[in-house]
Structure 1
Amino acid sequence: MRLVTNTFRETGVRIRNRRDEDLDVCVGLLRAVHEQAGYPINWPEDPRGWLTPASRLGCWVAESDGRVAGHVVLTAVGDRAEVERLFVDPAVTRKGIGRRLLDHCVTTAAELGRELSLEVVDNRGAAVHLYRRAGWTETTRTPIDWGGEQATELIRFSPPVST
């Protein structure tokens, strides 16, 4: 797991490794996101376990004003990496926290020499907008049957090409 902390002074957001003692706060934030924005579509039976997939390359939180305000996991998919479990406290959205977490994953995947991607269901308008604003490119759409009437496709994105 990557043991680095990035501090972003211009926004007061600090990305750090998630610690075990952060899990209860992260589950609470995930519950708020689920209730307000419908992510994840299906509430996990074991939210703590869902936030800690076995294939993880790293788990990070964003701190803002000294409290956990966002979460992300980078997982291994073969020799590639995938951004997962990205969410931000609904009380502090639109402050660049999701973008900082996303950028952290891009940097980490590059350092690990892994091709990166992410998937999002088609009813996550704010997430899709974030990815596109951050320069990510939609590569495929796959029909799904587990999203109910809320979502019918899974959209795959690839990150911006670094120069």
Structure 2
Amino acid sequence: MADLEERATVVASDSRQAGAGVVVRPRRADDLADCVRVLGDVHAADGYPAEWPDHPADWLTPDGLLAAWIAEWDGRLTGHVGLARSAPGDVAPALWSHHTGGPPELTTVIARFYVAPTARGHLIGARLLSCAVAHARALGLHPVLDVLATDTAALALYRRLGWTHLGGDDRRWASGRTVSVHCFAAPRG
């Protein structure tokens, strides 16, 4: 585990060189209050998450979470990404398996990914994804994700970064709401 944390820190250090004042590092427990605050800003601006969780700090730490990172810009938390084992009902691992022939257990899910509205346009999202992808690969796993079809900015980001579109699906949430999602896989590395 220490070796994986060291690799994540190396990736984060490399990210620091890519832009002035931006640092990507592993998330600590004492970051959660700021993560929730920024998530609230994202929710107000973009509607992500589409259904506000009753306990946002718990939502940011789902079962199966393997690791999480935050981005800081000039000392302020500006973004978050998690890497988790797939949960029941996750479509992206099954679609990846169908496309590649590999078992879905060889995937990991990019989760709880967001960047503060005021910090966009500075490659922060790309840096966060880079850390998560590098960590997944160090674990021998292939990163996948899903995104709401209505989140056009996120869809554009994944396409711009070379993620492979695996397909789409409609999901019925516990609230009764039906949403359309698109699933992606990270570029082969």
* TM-score of the two chains, using structure 1 as the length reference: 0.91
The amino acid that maps onto 1:84 is A
Give the superposition deviation at 1:87. Answer: 0.4
1:123–1:151 CA contact under 8 A, matched in 2: no
CA contact (8 A) 1:122 1:151 kept: no
Using structure 2 for the length normalisation, give the TM-score: 0.79
Match of 1:135 among 162, 170, 180: 162
**Which of 135, 145, 148 is matched with 1:118 structurally?**
145
The Cα shift of 1:147 comes to 10
Paired residue for 1:100, among 113, 127, 138? Answer: 127
Measure how far apart 1:67 and its partner are.
1.7
Supply the distance in 1 between the matched residues of 2:160 and 2:174 (Cα, whole angstroms): 25
Residues 4-153 of structure 1 aligned to structure 2 (within 5 Å): 4-5=8-9, 6-7=12-13, 8-12=16-20, 13-77=22-86, 78-146=105-173, 152-153=179-180
The number of residue pairs the alignment matches comes to: 161
Residue identity in the other structure for 1:88: V
Whose helix proportion is higher, 1 or 2? Answer: 2
Contact 2:170 2:178 in 1 (8 A): no
- Give unmatched runs, 5+ long, in structure 2: 87-104
SS in 2 for 1:132: helix
* Greater strand share, structure number: 1
Are the counterparts in 1 of residues 83 and 132 from structure 2 also a CA contact under 8 Å?
Answer: yes
> CA-to-partner distance for each residue in 1:19-45, whole Å, 9 max, x for gaps?
111111110100110010010100011
Deviation at 1:71, TM superposition (A): 0.3
RMSD of the alignment, in Å? 1.9
Q: Secondary structure of the residue that 2:58 maps to in structure 1?
A: helix
Task: Using the TM superposition, give the Cα deviation of residue 105 of structure 1 relative to its aligned residue in structure 2, in angstroms.
Answer: 1.2
Identity, % of aligned positions:
37
Aligned residues of 1:121 and 1:151 also touching (Cα < 8 A): no
The higher radius of gyration belongs to 2
Take 1:69 and 1:151, find their aligned partners in 2: how far apart are those partners? Answer: 30
**CA distance in 1: counterparts of 2:30 and 2:78, whole angstroms:** 14
Secondary structure of the corresponding residue to residue 108 of structure 2? strand
Structure 1 regions of 5+ residues with no counterpart? none
